[in-house]
Homo-oligomer: A and B are copies of this chain.
Amino acid sequence: MYSIGELSRRTGVKVPTIRYYEDTGILDAPDRTGGNQRRYDSAGLERLAFIKHARDLGFSLEAIAALIQLRQAPEGSCHRADEIARVQLADVRSKIMRLRALETELVRISKSCDGQGVADDCNVLAALADHELFGTDHGAK
């Protein structure tokens, strides 16, 4: 049996976050001691590790809840789990593309500024003020 702090140490999930997961229903409420403290078993530990890993991969809590549903209904189809993972992959890829464009632009901005001049003719500020310098299609989500 693990206390909430022990669970936190073993999974790397902060204590208030564990309680938050319980509140939202993604983590089952564990048994309590006579003094009302949470005591987790290895199933609880496993579940939290699963959530942590999925969160680290960028899955939303909503997606994780769906994944857990699937785990608990083993006769269900794998299709949905695969779909969730593929949506997540597409999302990660689009984020990477967007960030790469930002990187290019920031490099250009930073390169043009040696940090020595006065703000009045600072290229960082000028670049930010003037859309035309690099086209305007940054807003795409």
Contact = CB atoms under 8 A, between A and B. Distances in A.
Given A57-B102, A85-B109, A110-B86, A128 B77 contact: no
Interface stretch (A1-9, A24-32, A34-42, A115-123): A115-123
Contacts of A50: 128-129
A57 B39 CA distance: 45
Interface residues of A, number: 59
Contact of A119 (B56, B77, B116): B77
Interface of A: 12, 46, 49-50, 52-54, 56-58, 67, 70-71, 73-86, 88-89, 92-93, 95-96, 99-100, 102-103, 105-107, 109-110, 113-122, 124-125, 128-129, 131, 138-139
